[in-house]
Structure 1
């Protein structure tokens, strides 16, 4: 259940709420956004998509050297253009990932040095070479050198070998790249003994790294990191070394990734200490460590990082109920005096809490504030998450002592919550509309021929996350089923969200029956494995009262974690506050009124821009209404359109996140309202069978393709092409949506990495220059995903040609085209 704010005058909970205190007068320094990086977060240029990457404002990322054999993609130079054009900071080059095996082949330093030379030569020749960081060794305490041994004599022998090699490699890099920034020693865990010796050696031999790195990969890190950090800074002082930049370049367990409430705990401690940190690579490259669904769709974890990227000004002191304790309520907060905004991000514990914000200055906020509370819930690793729901929007009087208390009741342990405080102004904010919701755990249901498994606990931190730490699997018998008893408050339509896993290798089905009625077929797309959770949305009609919802085995096995029922309140809609948008230029913030969405207005003038992150559940047309005082211009997919105040626009959005940029000569903008469910009325649709094929490309029969066949064997030759002829009713900017599938992989023998590969195609419209599109692996050959590519069409007939002269293109089911401005 979502957290709620208690009604005015309601009784408090029987148990005292936890208290998280924020002190706006205690600055910790400018917001750094250091903890948003990932190891192998990028797989290829376009994976993840720009619209999913840019909003996160990533400060550092770790990738393998060009041509490295450790994984099939994620080469630092190959992904650098995507990273840098989307505002990325710096790329750590994991140099030892040039090797193919894990643990790395220990062939001696003489084998490694020519590889070091090659990497340094390639990186130093890059136009952005100053934005790369060399990491010469990865986990030397375990790999090659075994620096964690308890025997002191053996430790010293191993240490001296490592120090000798560190100096040799350091000097080798600098010989090729004199301005190189080098990071290390990069242990798998924090070792005070080693770091004390390393600092003394590196200072004496003039081979001190510019960035200090180590890994925090145990659940105990949530308890121990602060002590590690404090100890390291003390070692620096003892050695007479000025504080080095720190990057914890691998952090978190599997159970933490994708889970907003877990991520709060990690990010808060890193941001508080102003260190950089990159999430670990436990699964597949190209999804920002499990936070981007497919190529451009957000999950709950993505929205948490989007909130984190939205913090501005200074972070301020947060005192949680239990500092440095595993799986407890934690938080971080910021104050931007120029914007007159305070934000608090918190989560990690179930139950009730009071968030007490102290030193709310009247000079900034006035006598009242508007408090807006939203929730980013766990939706699984591969489960889409709509724009976070606003749970409450209320005007609160600042107490005589300068404090504001925001109560949260019924918090979900796996969710993160954001509280935004802005000046109250005049008027009354629009109350949040929160639909009725109920959740039901699969392990608590009636199970026939299935088994309950425990997942993602503190003692099994590298297990995958599961709601309630349990799921139901082994539903592989003809009689396997899970019966949920649910109760709904009124007759109506309900959205049923099913958290599931499907490792069967193809789309799998279950039979959904309500109160024993004739079953409906629910089809589940493939997932990486049985526990890499995704979300399937279904609509059901229920009368008021109690019902039995049964999910029985269909053609293949599916694992079940939880179901959610949400009262269906018409077509999806969301309002995006302009005062929380990304900005450029120097817009001003107007809080004279808190009416409407309640966070005031953004005043744009020539040269100013506000960028909104807008979610779409599927490709199609949506109604977009800018609430502004004067005409504004909206830019989307390379098209710009003028909108009158309050005038609805019909715009084509791609599934997932869309970046909408808004400019104006002079306008006060309150919000951007987006509604709809992705209408395809007015789009152009062409099945693969309508294309002209050449050079070996051919139609292949498939029961999973929309019309019974797809285009296969496309590419891998200059002559292999698929050409569609599309008839555009108007000239202009369109989005070409490609329905595709492929399951290319290369198994490098890693126990915990799924080495999926992308495919690419050059897309040519008429005589225009080809556009290169990258298509992420779809987990099976029979699951079709979509990729949207903006193109320009002339009125009438246009040819759209797909090719890849040097490698295989994806299988293509069909294409659709929608004019950006419908």
Structure 2
């Protein structure tokens, strides 16, 4: 467990000297920019990712293909701009050459490209918010079309001159159509001093200088080399008398970094320190923010890291890591916000004990004591759900006479990121968080029968997928294949067992789980993109105190095992969402006069103020929500407003994944929103596929994987093909309609590494109301059912809900559920 803290600001005693990460709150680096939270093809459709997954990240830039581009089946810039902009997104880089179908792009000559350039520019110039699009005319010209990375100088100069001429032609072509266009480039696959020096001189001389400078930093070596690249580039600008251009590293990191909080913090810290924008690379499937959103609405560990990054306010301040610019070492970034009286530190990338030394803590803001709150965002896989990050410690510390506070971090995990929040100590003593017993066991360290250990995600494994401990166990495809884990638990009781796995069978796969050779139970694993694209399966086991053997043996199809985590379950899941860390609008004030109890202080809401909490739910259903406040507040969820009395529980319906709950008040000091429960379905309405009235080509299809043995298939692709459910609402009001669906539409473009999954849509009509178009992401298999929640208003009594799609196929529907927002 990480985060054991002493009672004072002095370092904790340790057997060996811990490494030190130093934060200087007096050394401002400028306003928090949040520039490194972007993604290439992070959005695939309007609604994928969901608004609730997208809005909290406060994304500054994304990169997408031009409308109608043939490179991939979705991710069109104008289409996704609707959801991007309504969720507070910044700007969209349009990767213009993605108009082509092949990778690398077909080289048909500049005369073939120019009409395409015209069409793209005309589309963008006519679009709403056209000023928030950036034209990227060329992608990786050092490798594609122009071969600018050749060693031979004469050949380089010949290729360079052809590229420069084409750059000038395309640049002027864009500006002729869109005079205010912002253009980015040259967009190399890697940093090349030789090319950039020549390019800047040429572009300056010909008046075709880009407004945004772009290049890619993709390999692990960039964690060592980027600072040198950045410094060299700024030097080139100075030599030529060019004012500093905005920089966007519009592709960064490789597969082993994406989704891994401890890896991501290393990249983000160096980009934020240098105040450059940066977008994660697109190595797999579109629409999941490059490995940080599960399905459409569910956070993983990477999402929570970026949510923390989005929560930094004020100025970033200087952070000195143990080893700067070194691959896979402890790195961090930090901020100070005097108006909120908060300092935050994000760090990760190392399993070594660490002292986080915060210097120059201003007593005018914090007083003589601070409350230090430490939380962990762990790696849960690319497609593994991650609950609200666990608070490990919350302790009041004295500020030393020299203005220093030291927060020890003991036993950290290399793949995790950690957040430390410092707030004024105030009176009273914070309640120590309840941290359940937990233990992790790597599959490669277990007893393996008829399986094989594979190495993944190392620096030498070029662009390999991440794995816990850099190893996993695959080839569990024989009749006797199994993995025996020896575990020891401290007491009798129920334990949550989380299994990190991969399943590329194209259908749900199973294993047999047994305890000490007892009767096995079946564990069913949903499909994943491939056998190394990690997901997480949660099950529960009853264990007595002592040692046990947990066996996972082959069932139907093949499953790869990475790691298991055992966590004691003593009560229903619960989390306390602190108001002082919520997103705000208006001008609320911060009250840290008391640090007693849970939380670090209170957010004082008045007229015109609002706080928004990001609340995690493990599944669709009802949860107990309790506001801790000095006076009544009003909560907004799924478009429904509810009056909330302090300390009085509400029964509210949450969808699986992230839920944005807003809070307003006439005047109330809000400390937290406390949420608990497993997602009860008591009081919900449920209707199976067989209860629907089908028209046109829609039909009921038998399936062993459907919840009641059948699903609605061949729905849509005609105005006549519909499914109509009659639902009976006991009371009128706002409900959440949850659809259990599946589909596996794909279009194989023959791309070297991207999986071109496609979404489907359905028009949902309630009664005689207007239809609502809803997007359904690919579920990796025709037999895996996911859920999407849609707020709807129902009358008391019978209501007709109709599903269809007049122009394309809708997803297969297994069943629907409805829960009133206020239970």
TM-score of Structure 1 vs Structure 2, range by shorter chain: over 0.9
Contact residue 255 and residue 461 of structure 1 kept, 8 A: no
Partner of 1:105: 106
Partner of 1:285: 286
Partner of 2:265: 264
1:2 deviates by 4.5
Partner of 2:612: 611
Q: Distance in 1 between matches of 2:524 and 2:686?
A: 23
The change in CA–CA distance for 1:82 and 1:11 in structure 2 (over 3 A counts) is closer
1:804 deviates by 0.3
Partner of 1:396: 397
Q: Distance in 2 between matches of 1:110 and 1:790?
A: 50
Contact residue 12 and residue 408 of structure 2 kept, 8 A: no
Partner of 1:330: 331
Q: Distance in 1 between matches of 2:619 and 2:319?
A: 39
1:756 deviates by 0.2
Q: Distance in 2 between matches of 1:719 and 1:3?
A: 60
**Residue 219 (structure 2) pairs with residue 200 (structure 1):** no
1:275 deviates by 0.2
Q: Distance in 2 between matches of 1:551 and 1:93?
A: 47
1:598 deviates by 3.2
Q: Secondary structure at the match of 1:338?
A: coil
After TM superposition, the structure 1 = structure 2 runs for residues 517-536 of structure 1, keeping only pairs within 5 Å, are: 517-536=518-537
1:3 deviates by 4.7
Q: Distance in 1 between matches of 2:567 and 2:529?
A: 27
1:127 deviates by 1.3
Deviations 1:248-305 (A, max 9, x none): 0000010000000000000000000000000000000000000000000000000000
1:351 deviates by 2.0
1:597 deviates by 2.1
Partner of 1:543: 544
**Residue 594 (structure 2) pairs with residue 593 (structure 1):** yes
Q: Distance in 2 between matches of 1:782 and 1:558?
A: 16
Partner of 2:688: 687
Q: Secondary structure at the match of 1:806?
A: strand
Could you tell me the TM-score, scaled by structure 1's length?
A: 0.99
Q: Distance in 1 between matches of 2:819 and 2:752?
A: 43
Q: Distance in 1 between matches of 2:599 and 2:567?
A: 25
Partner of 1:818: 819
**Residue 447 (structure 2) pairs with residue 446 (structure 1):** yes
Contact residue 11 and residue 408 of structure 2 kept, 8 A: no
Structure 2 unaligned regions, length at least 5: none
Partner of 2:378: 377
Q: Distance in 2 between matches of 1:63 and 1:443?
A: 39
**Residue 463 (structure 2) pairs with residue 462 (structure 1):** yes
Partner of 1:735: 736
Deviations 1:685-726 (A, max 9, x none): 000100000010000000000000000000000111000000
Partner of 1:708: 709
Q: Distance in 2 between matches of 1:751 and 1:704?
A: 32
Contact residue 5 and residue 395 of structure 2 kept, 8 A: no
1-10 vs 708-717, which moves further = 1-10
1:569 deviates by 1.7
- Moved >3 Å (runs of 4+): 1-11
Q: Distance in 2 between matches of 1:597 and 1:222?
A: 38
Partner of 1:68: 69
Please tell me the root mean square deviation across aligned C-alpha atoms, in Å: 0.9
Partner of 1:659: 660
1:224 deviates by 0.2
Q: Distance in 2 between matches of 1:796 and 1:492?
A: 44
Q: Distance in 1 between matches of 2:326 and 2:11?
A: 31
Partner of 1:789: 790
Deviations 1:279-332 (A, max 9, x none): 000000000000000000000000000000000000000000000000000000
Contact residue 370 and residue 598 of structure 1 kept, 8 A: no
**Residue 225 (structure 2) pairs with residue 212 (structure 1):** no
* Aligned residue pairs, count: 822
Deviations 1:412-448 (A, max 9, x none): 0000000000000001101011100100000000000
The change in CA–CA distance for 1:2 and 1:556 in structure 2 (over 3 A counts) is farther
After TM superposition, the structure 1 = structure 2 runs for residues 240-639 of structure 1, keeping only pairs within 5 Å, are: 240-639=241-640
Q: Distance in 2 between matches of 1:163 and 1:628?
A: 62
Structure 1 unaligned regions, length at least 5: none
1:799 deviates by 0.3
Q: Secondary structure at the match of 1:805?
A: strand
Q: Distance in 1 between matches of 2:153 and 2:504?
A: 47
Contact residue 437 and residue 565 of structure 1 kept, 8 A: yes
Q: Distance in 2 between matches of 1:217 and 1:594?
A: 44
Q: Distance in 2 between matches of 1:694 and 1:731?
A: 28
Q: Distance in 1 between matches of 2:87 and 2:78?
A: 15
Q: Distance in 2 between matches of 1:565 and 1:477?
A: 27
Q: Distance in 1 between matches of 2:589 and 2:6?
A: 34
Q: Secondary structure at the match of 1:351?
A: coil
Contact residue 457 and residue 465 of structure 2 kept, 8 A: yes
**Residue 43 (structure 2) pairs with residue 48 (structure 1):** no
1:599 deviates by 1.3
Contact residue 599 and residue 672 of structure 2 kept, 8 A: no
1:596 deviates by 1.8
Contact residue 496 and residue 564 of structure 1 kept, 8 A: yes
The change in CA–CA distance for 1:11 and 1:164 in structure 2 (over 3 A counts) is closer
1:7 deviates by 7.9
Q: Distance in 1 between matches of 2:90 and 2:12?
A: 49
Deviations 1:661-706 (A, max 9, x none): 0000000000000000000000000001000000100000000000
Partner of 1:16: 17
Q: Secondary structure at the match of 1:182?
A: strand
Deviations 1:190-230 (A, max 9, x none): 00000000000000000000000000001000000000000
Contact residue 3 and residue 412 of structure 1 kept, 8 A: no
Q: Distance in 1 between matches of 2:61 and 2:529?
A: 26
1:5 deviates by 3.6
1:4 deviates by 3.7
1:6 deviates by 6.0
Deviations 1:546-578 (A, max 9, x none): 100000000110000000000112100000000
Q: Distance in 1 between matches of 2:498 and 2:571?
A: 16
Contact residue 618 and residue 654 of structure 1 kept, 8 A: yes
Q: Secondary structure at the match of 1:807?
A: strand
Q: Distance in 2 between matches of 1:634 and 1:388?
A: 23
1:14 deviates by 2.0
Q: Distance in 2 between matches of 1:11 and 1:626?
A: 36
Q: Distance in 2 between matches of 1:803 and 1:494?
A: 43
After TM superposition, the structure 1 = structure 2 runs for residues 172-187 of structure 1, keeping only pairs within 5 Å, are: 172-187=173-188
Q: Secondary structure at the match of 1:719?
A: strand
1:12 deviates by 2.7
